[in-house]
A and B are shown apart, each in its own frame.
Chain A
């Protein structure tokens, strides 16, 4: 089922949690909502699920107005940020809940309910936990039970709010891969929230980056990483070196020193130069731009990470770069730095 959000505004008192959010999600898509804490991700999911209503804007599922329908009628499976399992029910009953509360006319008989729950527990590979209570499960197990519960009634949309939030890195990776393959298997339109960029880039077909209640960029994982649309996205996805520069007549200056790189046409005034750590190339001093002194070098695997003190006129700025190991850096050495790829955004602050 496709989802269309138009011009969603949501306020809590004077605070705007969502500002004019527009988003279209295609049928069968696996979309990641990525953003820092407090950016409105949960609020957006809750509006899609019918647990909150926007102050203005529209939500439609397959072209039908969803706002006219309550949470129970939207056929949305919601996996909550903090699981929200029913603590007084066994795992089995938790998963069976959605089936047991169906209107009598469509409710399945006990045997089919049992069969369906069994099937779901097998799917999340936790059938051996059927008789436990939620308090007797580990975080990862609770997460998967919450997912099984949400899937029981065959929702047409699946919303996952930081499904792997509370888990350690290894289990996260496992579940991430598992979610990906689950989606390939059942193909339900899914939105999952995360503030872990790696997770978003690895699992999703498309990534939506949010900040302060606004959508900053929507794109394929590669796009948001390689061509960030805004300074925020560049800084948030992947680590970046950020340098304050000034542009006049197409010349970029860092602390008065002109840099020998081209400005995008039209750019002028105070701006920010964004370069990925591995896009900063070491070159002989005097190439006509950035120069600095190597302070500290750490080598691991194929790269060496160096702290370099830039002399930018007003004092020192220390940046971290990743360089290949073909040329060993020594501390104290003066090197030239040439951004191989970079982006410039007007400084709005």
Chain B
């Protein structure tokens, strides 16, 4: 039998029946959409930021107001990521490894910040801690400044970004079950040793993934922070708030310069996320064997 009779037809490389042009069209449309709505705006941010040259760009970023906003944003992100790392881990642990009444309610509560508009979240804190608020008078009597200051901003941000870490961990921990922890305990490990030697290494990629998303959102949060910040220039403006103020004052280069930093953060997050997802997939495949 001649080999030529069995060459693969060039236009059939898989079992799907869509003609090539349909596939091409779909992919093309998708690419166009992404370009118009995502790539283009991102490019414009950088283009506008650098419109008056690198000097102006750097000058805009080293303004005292800009520096203060960057510092505040980093501080707030550090606090809320730190808090959510701990709380998220505890919540995920409780949900994934224990059975208790009210578990479904807890899971719903964890998701609450995702389903509430950030502005409402901010308002809740104003209602709680404001001058006429529930705890306001007590705070005033004790000379504690929460609203329109770092603690309020950090609190609102923490609330809004709460679900990221626990959401990343719950399915992972549920899938892994308690078998390895039990093995560790029966081999004589203490609770802490079990956590640090068995549980944590098993969830580290998922944890990092949650922290990454949590951080990105914490730095970019606008709505909730806007309500509780009070917009005191040079004091309680985070980067997103500053971008809005500068833009409203027609300082486009400065606005876009600060915005470009946030955009850069987004790009870095994206790359890191892709790498982490690769790691998570590898872990999952290893588990299936």
Chain A residues near B (Cβ < 8 Å): 49-51, 70-74, 76-78, 80, 82, 84-89, 97-98, 101-102, 133, 135-136, 149-150, 152-153
| Distance to closest chain B CB from A10 (angstroms) | 16
Give the CA-CA distance A84 to B194 in the complex, in Å: 14
B185 A84 Cβ-Cβ under 8 A: no
| Distance to closest chain B CB from A99 (angstroms) | 9
Give the CA-CA distance A150 to B185 in the complex, in Å: 12
What is the count of residue pairs linking A and B with beta-carbon distances less than 8 angstroms?
Answer: 70
A87: chain B residues at CB < 8 Å are 180, 202, 283, 286-287
Give the CA-CA distance A87 to B189 in the complex, in Å: 17
Instruction: Say yes or no for B187: interface residue by CB 8 A criterion.
Output: yes
- From 273 to 289 in chain B, residues with beta carbon under 8 angstroms from any chain A beta carbon are 283, 285-287, 289
A71 B185 Cβ-Cβ under 8 A: yes
B202: chain A residues at CB < 8 Å are 87-88
Interchain CB contact (< 8 A) of A101 among B193, B201, B287, B289: B193
* A-B complex: 8 closest residue pairs judged by Cβ atoms: A98-B187, A84-B179, A135-B286, A101-B189, A84-B183, A72-B188, A135-B289, A88-B201
A49: chain B residues at CB < 8 Å are 186
If A133-B286, A135-B287, A135-B289 touch, whether A86 touches B180 (CB-CB below 8 Å) is yes
B244: chain A residues at CB < 8 Å are none
Give the CA-CA distance A135 to B183 in the complex, in Å: 17
Q: B201's closest neighbor in chain A, by CB?
A: A88
A97 B184 Cβ-Cβ under 8 A: yes
A150: chain B residues at CB < 8 Å are 187
Extra contacts, 7 of them, besides A80-B182, A98-B188 (Cβ < 8 A), are: A78-B186, A84-B180, A84-B182, A84-B183, A88-B202, A101-B190, A135-B289
Instruction: Say yes or no for B198: interface residue by CB 8 A criterion.
Output: yes
Instruction: Say yes or no for B197: interface residue by CB 8 A criterion.
Output: yes
A74: chain B residues at CB < 8 Å are 186
A85: chain B residues at CB < 8 Å are 180, 183
Q: B286's closest neighbor in chain A, by CB?
A: A135
Bitwise interface map of B from 148 to 191 toward A, beta carbon under 8 Å scored 1, else 0: 00000000000000000000000000000001101111111110
B183 A78 Cβ-Cβ under 8 A: yes
A70 B185 Cβ-Cβ under 8 A: yes
B182 A72 Cβ-Cβ under 8 A: no
Q: A159's closest neighbor in chain B, by CB?
A: B186
A86: chain B residues at CB < 8 Å are 180, 183-184, 198
B179: chain A residues at CB < 8 Å are 80, 82, 84
B188: chain A residues at CB < 8 Å are 72-73, 98, 101-102, 153
- From 250 to 289 in chain B, residues with beta carbon under 8 angstroms from any chain A beta carbon are 283, 285-287, 289
Q: B179's closest neighbor in chain A, by CB?
A: A84
B184 A101 Cβ-Cβ under 8 A: yes
Q: List 14 A-B contacts (CB under 8 A).
A: A49-B186, A71-B185, A72-B186, A72-B189, A84-B180, A86-B183, A87-B286, A88-B202, A89-B201, A97-B184, A98-B187, A101-B184, A102-B188, A135-B286
Give the CA-CA distance A80 to B184 in the complex, in Å: 12
For A50, A51, A76, A88, which residue has the most chain B Cβ atoms within 10 angstroms? A88
If A51-B182, A87-B202 touch, whether A101 touches B286 (CB-CB below 8 Å) is no
A97 B180 Cβ-Cβ under 8 A: no
A97 B201 Cβ-Cβ under 8 A: no
Give the CA-CA distance A97 to B182 in the complex, in Å: 13
A50 B186 Cβ-Cβ under 8 A: yes
A80 B187 Cβ-Cβ under 8 A: no
| Distance to closest chain A CB from B41 (angstroms) | 41
| Distance to closest chain A CB from B263 (angstroms) | 35
Give the CA-CA distance A218 to B202 in the complex, in Å: 42
A101: chain B residues at CB < 8 Å are 184, 187-190, 193, 197
Give the CA-CA distance A291 to B42 in the complex, in Å: 91
Q: A70's closest neighbor in chain B, by CB?
A: B185
B190: chain A residues at CB < 8 Å are 72, 101
Give the CA-CA distance A74 to B198 in the complex, in Å: 20
Give the CA-CA distance A101 to B182 in the complex, in Å: 14
Give the CA-CA distance A180 to B82 in the complex, in Å: 53
Q: B189's closest neighbor in chain A, by CB?
A: A101
Give the CA-CA distance A169 to B190 in the complex, in Å: 38
B184: chain A residues at CB < 8 Å are 86, 97, 101
Interchain CB contact (< 8 A) of A71 among B180, B182, B193, B201: B182
Give the CA-CA distance A136 to B287 in the complex, in Å: 10
A102: chain B residues at CB < 8 Å are 188
